[in-house]
Structure 1
Amino acid sequence: MTSTKKIIKSYKVFNPVDVHLADDGVVQAIGKGDIVMSMKTPRGIKKGVLTDVWHIPKLSRNLFSVGRLTKDVG
């Protein structure tokens, strides 16, 4: 999840979806797309793509799942 639309590739708008946060707040996702990223690994720099990342304009920080990262990027 990210609030930064400009880093999302292949952006697709969808009907707003409520996302419930750990602090009991609620924000809305309004679109999704893919994010290209580079990661430093013991074997060097690895590039990958996170797919279907939700765009949530009111999110204060980017959030991602390590399990999802290993699935999408390997």
Structure 2
Amino acid sequence: MVELPTHLDWSEQRVYDLDDDAQLGLMYERVIREAAYIDDLRAYLNAAVLVRIWPRLFLPVQARQAWEARFRHLVRAA
């Protein structure tokens, strides 16, 4: 279980069960969309998990393109 801070998730349901693939994906989507600091990305994202779930994440086109341009291995994962 992970509880995101309010600067990443201001909803009442900020706790995510990372053993549940749907909740895991929602948390990763939220962190990718809302993180303003590299420390948030480091704290809440795991590289191996990100590669595994990348094709299933629902992200804004600009966010997906920016991440794939920076991390080319995500393109291969998709």
- TM-score strictly above 0.5: no
Bigger helix share: 2
Bigger strand share: 1
More relative contact order, 1 or 2 (CA 8 Å, 6+ apart): 1
TM-score, L = length of structure 2: 0.24
